[in-house]
Amino acid sequence: MAFQLMVVDDSPAMRALIVRVIELSGIEIGECHLAANGQEALDLLAKHWVDIILTDVNMPVMNGEEFLRRLDADERLRDIPVLVISTDGSEHRMRRMRELSAKSYLKKPFSPEVLRERMEQLLGVAP
Amino acid sequence: MNEQEVFQLLACAGQQTLETMFFTMPDVVSTGTERPAGPLIAASLTFEGSPPGRFGAILSEPVGRSMAANFLGAEDEEALSPAQIAEVSGELANIICGAVLTDLESNAAFDLSSPIPIYVPADDPGPDYAAGAPVTCRFDLPEGAIVLYLAFGTGA
C-alpha cells in the first residue's frame, strides 16, 4: 500500500531532504504533496487526501501552530496523523503542538533512521 | 552558564547537525575565530526569547557546496546553483542555532528569524559576526572551515 504524503516547510531544501529520506527509507510512498506554509497545505488538502502530514512550525503566511489549529477544527482533516519537525525543541513548544493535533514531534537535527521510525509508528507500518 | 559551557553546546550541536543532516564530520573543532580562506558564504539570523541574541555562520565556499550536495542528495555538486548552496547554508545556521537554544533553555520558547545567507568574495571583508560575539566555534573540514558565532542580549 502506497501512502499519500504531505510535507509543509518554507525551505525547499528541507522539503527535498525530508522527501529524499522517506524515499530511501523503504516506506512505500504514492503522491507527495509539498507546501511552503499552512495555508498552501490547507489549499492542497481541499483537493487531495493524504495519509500523513509532516510540518515545520516557524513558517510565513500561516505557521505550524495555526495550521494544526485549522486541522483540529476540520472534522475531515483532524484525524490525519501529523509529525511536527522543527528546530524549536523547547518543552513549551512541544507541549503546545501536542495539545493541538500533533501526534509526534521531531527536533532538528534528526537522523534519517529516527525520521523513518517516527513515520513507521504513525503509519502503523512494521519495520 | 559560562562561555566555555556555551562553547561546548555549540560544538556538540554543530557536530551532531553536520553528522546527521549533512553527512560529514569535522577533522578539528576549536574556538578559532579566523576567517576561512577564499570566497565564503555567510548566514545570519536573530532570535527572540529568553535570552534574545544573534547567530552567524561563515563557511568556505567549497564547504558550503559540498554540504549542499550532501543535504540535497546531488550527485554532481558543480551543478548546484549559488541559490541552492546559500539556502542550505542558511538551513545549517537555522538548525544549529535552534539546537543550541533548545539545549540552553529547554523550557523556554524562542523564535528564530529566517536565516539571511550572502556570498562574500575572497577580497571582501564580509560581515563582522565576531564583533560582540563572545562564543565562537570553528570546524575544520577537508574542503575548508565553518565558523559559528553566538551573541546574547542583542536580538531583533
User: How far out from the chain centre does Cα B28 lie?
Assistant: 15
Strand partners, B42: B58, B118
Chain A residues lying within 8 Å of B105, measured CB to CB? 90
Let me know if B83 is exposed, middle or buried by CB neighbors in 10 A (0-12, 13-18, 19+): exposed
Chain A residues lying within 8 Å of B101, measured CB to CB? 88, 90
Is A2:A29 a contact under the CB 8 Å cutoff?
Answer: yes
Instruction: Measure A76 CA to nearest chain B CA, in Å.
Output: 31
Q: Under an 8 A CB cutoff, do B94 and A89 touch?
A: no
Q: What is the pLDDT of residue B150?
A: 94
Alpha helices in chain B (DSSP H): 3-21, 61-72, 82-104
Instruction: Measure B46 CA to nearest chain A CA, in Å.
Output: 13
d(CA B58, CA B129): 9
pLDDT above 60: residue B154: no
Residue in A10, A89, A109 closest to B20 by CB: A109
User: Binning pLDDT at 50, 70 and 90, where does residue B156 land?
Assistant: very low
**Residues in chain B whose beta carbon is closer than 8 A to a beta carbon of chain A?**
13, 16-17, 20-21, 68, 71-73, 84, 87-88, 90-91, 94-95, 97-99, 101-102, 105-112, 114
> How crowded is residue A50: how many other Cβ atoms within 10 Å of its Cβ?
21
Domains contained in chain A, CATH given: 3-25+43-57+64-112 (3.40.50.2300)
3-state SS assignment for residue B51: coil
Q: Under an 8 A CB cutoff, do B106 and A93 touch?
A: no
> How crowded is residue B74: how many other Cβ atoms within 10 Å of its Cβ?
16
- Length of chain A counted residue by residue: 127
Q: Are strands A82-86 and A102-107 parallel, antiparallel or unpaired?
A: parallel
Average pLDDT over residues A27-32: 93
Q: What integer best gives the mean pLDDT of chain A?
A: 94
Model pLDDT for residues B81-132, shown as the tens digit of each residue: 999 999 999 999 999 999 999 888 777 778 889 899 999 999 888 888 888 7
Instruction: State the best of B12, B19, B20, B80 to mutate against chain A, taking most chain A CBs within 10 Å.
Output: B20
Domains contained in chain B, CATH given: 3-152 (3.40.1550.10)
C-alpha cell, B2: 559560562
User: Binning pLDDT at 50, 70 and 90, where does residue A62 land?
Assistant: very high
Average pLDDT over residues A36-63: 96
Does this model's pTM top 0.90? yes
Model pLDDT for residues B69-83, shown as the tens digit of each residue: 999 999 999 999 999
**Residues in chain A whose beta carbon is closer than 8 A to a beta carbon of chain B?**
10-14, 16-17, 20, 58, 60, 86-93, 107-112
List of residues 6+ apart from B97 with CB closer than 8 A = A87, B45, B47, B55, B112, B150
pLDDT above 90: residue B155: no
